[in-house]
Amino acid sequence: MMAGKPLMKSSTKNVTCVKVKPGYSNSNKEIEIRYIDTKVIGSGSFGMVYMAKLYDTNENVAIKKVYQDKRFKNRELQIMRRLEHPNIIRLMYYYYAVDNTNEEYLYLVLEFFPKTVHQLIKAYAQTGHVLDLFNIKLYMFQLFRGLSFMSSLNICHRDIKPHNLLVNPEKGTLRICDFGSAKVMNNDDTNVSYICSRYYRAPELIFGAVYYTTKIDVWSAGTVMAELFLGKPLFPGDSAVHQLVEIIKVSIIGTPSKEEIYAMNQNYKDFKLPTVKSVPLEKLFKGRSLHSAVNLLNSLFRYNPSARSSAIEALAHPFFDELRNPELEEMPNGRLMPRLFDWLEREVNIRPDLNKKIFPRSKYVPNCEEIIGLKEDT
């Protein structure tokens, strides 16, 4: 049951009125919003997701209803309130309510996006096609940018997969969503290793590591990138062992050495790993000339998390150079390019040494030349 008292606007529209708090404000002051046309668009172990329309602005929103189980920590709201970023789904409002069984639920009112990356890949696959190279670059750049921002706050998503990435194909924009598994990482804290959906799970998780970093999100992002090229998961394991076999089968990865296993999990003692014939990643791409993409994937698919590229390093990779073209103003569909380079100050300061590789010398970086070191010497 949706919270709030329904008001009758007309004989055909039920208007739900609720008191909410703004997503990113430090103020605890409640405001009132009204919404209509509520319908279920998703469900899971967490609860339900509804689509609705704000009555006063006519704006579509998604409302995520999350059961507040007192046995478990729910970090989702606290983490989302710290993540105001162009590539992370916007938390507009939130409120708590009790249903008719006296159970408490958290409601997150989020901006609405029309598709998930999973739906996008599936739609292309049904026509025998995969996403074009330009749009893969466009979406992956935004994914790495969102992950880089999160990593700068030591926040790990822990469930990056196509289902949790929202896109607006018309506008070419991407948002990371669903922070139900996210956690602020502290060096001394242990973490559960059984996290993240299997196809996208970093190998250190398969090896049972309880000390890991935001680099698990980078591995997951690499699997998403490969899936955009292939139209299907790169590592489709049906168990933990099979998942590891699927990873080993790709020649740029192969069988991990004892040193790499130690780097993933110092307590792992069973070194009996399967021996399987490996396949070059280039062959999986069916003849497409993707040397730069394979090079980037090679930097992401490293067993040793310390040797794995970070999200900010991925953004500096030549694979994305096309997006840095100062003359690039429109997408292939004729719409204006998303503003990829209007960065927050925190982002600009993550790795100043990489800024010249990441940013174009163009109008897409307003008023930032001195900060990011792009101003021409005089």
- Which pLDDT value is given to residue 256? 80
Q: List 167's β-bridge partners, or say none.
A: 115, 174
249 is in an annotated binding site: no
Contact 59, 109 (CB under 8 A): no
**Catalytic residue chosen out of the listed positions 159, 321, 342, 353:** 159
Give the model confidence (pLDDT) of 123-159 as tens digits: 999 999 999 999 999 999 999 999 999 999 999 999 9
DSSP string, 18-77: EEEEESS-S----EEEEEEEEEEEEEETTEEEEEEEETTT--EEEEEEEE--TTS---HH
> Which letter does DSSP use for residue 353 in this model?
G
pTM to 2 decimal places: 0.90
Asked if pLDDT for residue 2 goes beyond 60, the answer is: no
Q: 91 exposed, middle or buried (CB, 10 Å; 0-12, 13-18, 19+)?
A: buried
Asked if pLDDT for residue 349 goes beyond 80, the answer is: yes
Phi, psi of 44 (to 5 degrees): -170, -170
Distance CA 197, CA 158 (A): 9
In this structure, which CATH number among 3.40.50.720, 2.40.50.140, 3.30.200.20, 3.40.718.10 belongs to the domain 35-111?
A: 3.30.200.20
- Model confidence band, residue 13 (pLDDT cutoffs 50, 70, 90): low
Give the model confidence (pLDDT) of 88-129 as tens digits: 999 999 999 998 888 999 999 999 999 999 999 999 999 999
Domain boundaries, the chain: 35-111, 115-324
Mark whether 270 is an active-site residue.
no
Q: What angle do CA 74, 75, 78 make, to 5 degrees?
A: 130
Q: What CATH class does 115-324 carry? A: mainly alpha
